[in-house]
Structure formats: C-alpha cells, structure tokens
C-alpha cells in the first residue's frame, strides 16, 4: 500500500471498532460452506463430512513478519496460506477461517483493509471464506487465524502412520522462503522471486486431499523445516526416515545463487528452512501426481538421516529460540 494513501486514511481509533468491522466485511461473498457469516455472535459453517478439522496459528509483528518488508496485503495472504497448509496436511479441504486482529489505534484503517483484502484473495484461491473474527487494540500487529476443514469422507492423515519400507514424498518446493529471509535480512538486492516467496508462501493447495485419496500413511506441513518436521513424523510413528539430497537437487539449485550471495550452504535452507509450507507424506504404494519421492522410511529407532547419515547442519525453526 502506498504511504500517501495510508497517511490520508483515518486511523482505527478515529474510525471506531464497529465502523472498521463493517467496512472490512462489506460486500464479501461467502462460499456455500459458510451459511452465516459475520454479523451475529457466531458464524455457521456446514461440514458435509460431519467432522471438522480445526487448526489455529498466530503471526506477531517483528517476529513472523515485518511491515518494512511486507505490505499489509502480503501479511494477509501469508496468514491464510500458512493456516490452510495445516488443513492440507491432514488430508482435508479448507472451508472457512475466523480471524482475530490486534493493532495500535494509530494504524490507518486503509492498512487494516489491505490486510483483509489479502486474506480474502488467498482464501478465495481455496474456495474458502472468512466467516468471522475480532478486532482489538494492541501494542503491535497480531494476526490470529483459526481455520476449519472438511475431510470429505476420508480418514485424517496423521503423523503417526508411517511404516518401514514406505517412501517419502514432497509436494511443493523447499528452501525458497529461508533464502528470501536471508536476502531481506542481509539487504541483498535481486533474486526477486525468492524474496517474494518469503513474504507470501505458496502451499500446494489440493495436494493434501490428493495424498489422502492416494493412500498417504502419514503427512505433515513443512512449516519449521524439513528435518525438524520429519522428526515429528519419525517420533510419532516410531520409524527412521532417510532423506536423499539427490532427490532434492532441484530445490538446492533454485537457491544456490542466493546462497553464494549470502555466503551460506544452500542445504541449510533446503533441509532446515521453514515457511515454504510444502507437504511431506509417506506412501506405501505409488506416489500420486504432483508428488515427488525424496526418501524412504526405515525401521526404528526414531531418527532422521540425510543420505544415511546424521544431519549436523541447521535443522529448523523453534518458536522460543533466540
């Protein structure tokens, strides 16, 4: 959003909570799954399956996004994308979101509007809607999203179902967001697509349901890093997992130029970088279209290997690390 437009906009404090909410929900078209949207004390969301998959996540300013890097529109898209990826990882279809937004009263109303525009645009890519939410005063921007999903009659795909002799496959791309983050952090110009991929991830929408229909045994969203997230699968399933770098060569090649510019090993981004929101799953048989094999599942103990060896590089994000 242009600075001049933001400066001309009334602030949230000047507009008032209810006027802002009315502006944010006006003329929005809900999908069929949302039979009652914002305007009452609660929304009504239909689930054909009879079961609802629910997940929630938060983005905190200067921890998960920076407004000197991202536009409010970008933040909105990112908030929806990373939550939808969790529903994908369960093998479900995203139906609706509920959003809580906290911001200082001095925030231009136009920035809040741009945030919601980004959310709606990303939700519409999924055929989902934003069924409700809340707006509060806060010292900095906080975006809290709860997402609902429909299993469409299939069993949820858990982290605990991997078994020895199955194959490991990925849908989506790895290392791009981590590369973009380091390019932004080190103020390195160029590499526009990688820089953009840190601001707005591109989960492989629809791949989770395809995996579930294709007999996926276990699945997870790569939010914290491939090695880190695969450890959750290994521990939940009591298996070993061996990742092949040869199978990830396209991901490494995609970030190798940026890695050279930053002066780091690109494998740290591919194997340890999070926020691409690719999906990783284990299959006992043929891998579905849109998925590529990147490793295999071994007998326990629970561990994650890279080319048969322990990985000693960066393994992934931890929320309460420094």
Mark the binding-site residues, compressed into ranges.
41, 55-57, 64, 86, 133-134, 159, 221, 223-224, 275, 317
Q: Pairing between strand 93-103 and 142-150?
A: antiparallel
| Angle subtended at Cα 97 by Cα 86 and Cα 212, rounded to the nearest 5 degrees | 35
- Report how far residue 67's alpha carbon sits from residue 76's, in angstroms, rounded to the nearest whole number: 12
**Residue set of the binding site for ATP:** 133-134, 159, 223
- Report how far residue 216's alpha carbon sits from residue 243's, in angstroms, rounded to the nearest whole number: 17
Which strand (E) or helix (H) includes residue 132?
strand 129-137
**Residue set of the binding site for Mg(2+):** 41, 55-57, 86, 134, 221, 224
Q: Measuring CA to CA, how many Å separate 224 from each of 5, 66, 237, 314, 319?
A: 35, 18, 19, 11, 9
Output phi, psi for 9, to 5 deg.
-80, 145
> 3-state DSSP call for residue 117?
helix
- Report how far residue 94's alpha carbon sits from residue 85's, in angstroms, rounded to the nearest whole number: 9
Q: What is the dihedral of CA 15, 21, 27, 29, to 10 degrees?
A: 160
149, 129 Cβ separation under 8 angstroms: no
**Residue set of the binding site for substrate:** 64, 275, 317
Strands (E), 175-283: 216-222, 240-243, 278-283
- Report how far residue 74's alpha carbon sits from residue 67's, in angstroms, rounded to the nearest whole number: 9
Terminal alpha carbon distance of the chain? 31
């Amino acid at each position: 959003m242009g600075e001049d437009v933001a400066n001309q906009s009334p602030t949230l404090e000047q507009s008032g909570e209810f006027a802002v909410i009315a502006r944010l929900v006006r003329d929005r078209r809900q999908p069929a799954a949302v039979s009652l949207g914002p305007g009452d004390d609660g929304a009504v969301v239909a689930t054909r399956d009879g079961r609802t998959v629910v997940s929630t996540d938060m983005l905190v300013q200067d921890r998960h996004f920076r407004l000197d890097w991202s536009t409010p529109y970008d933040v909105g898209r990112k908030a929806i994308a990373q939550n939808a990826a969790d529903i994908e990882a369960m093998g479900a279809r995203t139906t609706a979101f509920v959003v809580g937004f906290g911001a200082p009263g001095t925030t231009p109303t136009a920035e809040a509007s741009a945030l919601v525009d980004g959310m709606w645009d990303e939700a519409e890519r999924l055929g989902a809607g934003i069924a409700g939410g809340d707006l509060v005063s806060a010292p900095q921007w906080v975006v809290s999203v709860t997402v609902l999903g429909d299993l469409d009659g299939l069993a949820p795909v858990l982290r605990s179902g991997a078994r020895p002799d199955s194959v490991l496959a990925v849908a989506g791309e790895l290392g791009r967001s981590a590369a973009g983050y380091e390019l932004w952090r080190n103020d390195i110009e160029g590499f526009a697509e990688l820089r953009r991929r840190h601001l707005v991830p591109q989960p492989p929408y629809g791949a989770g349901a395809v995996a579930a229909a294709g007999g996926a045994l276990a699945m997870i969203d790569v939010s914290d890093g491939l090695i880190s997230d695969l450890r959750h699968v290994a521990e939940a399933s009591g298996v070993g997992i061996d990742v092949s770098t040869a199978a990830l060569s396209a991901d490494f090649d995609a970030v190798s130029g940026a890695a050279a510019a930053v002066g780091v090993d690109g494998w740290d981004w591919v194997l340890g970088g999070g926020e691409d929101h690719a999906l990783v799953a284990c299959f006992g048989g043929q891998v579905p279209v849109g998925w590529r094999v990147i490793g295999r599942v071994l007998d326990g103990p629970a561990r994650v290997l890279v080319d048969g060896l322990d990985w000693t590089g960066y393994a992934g994000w931890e929320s309460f690390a420094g």
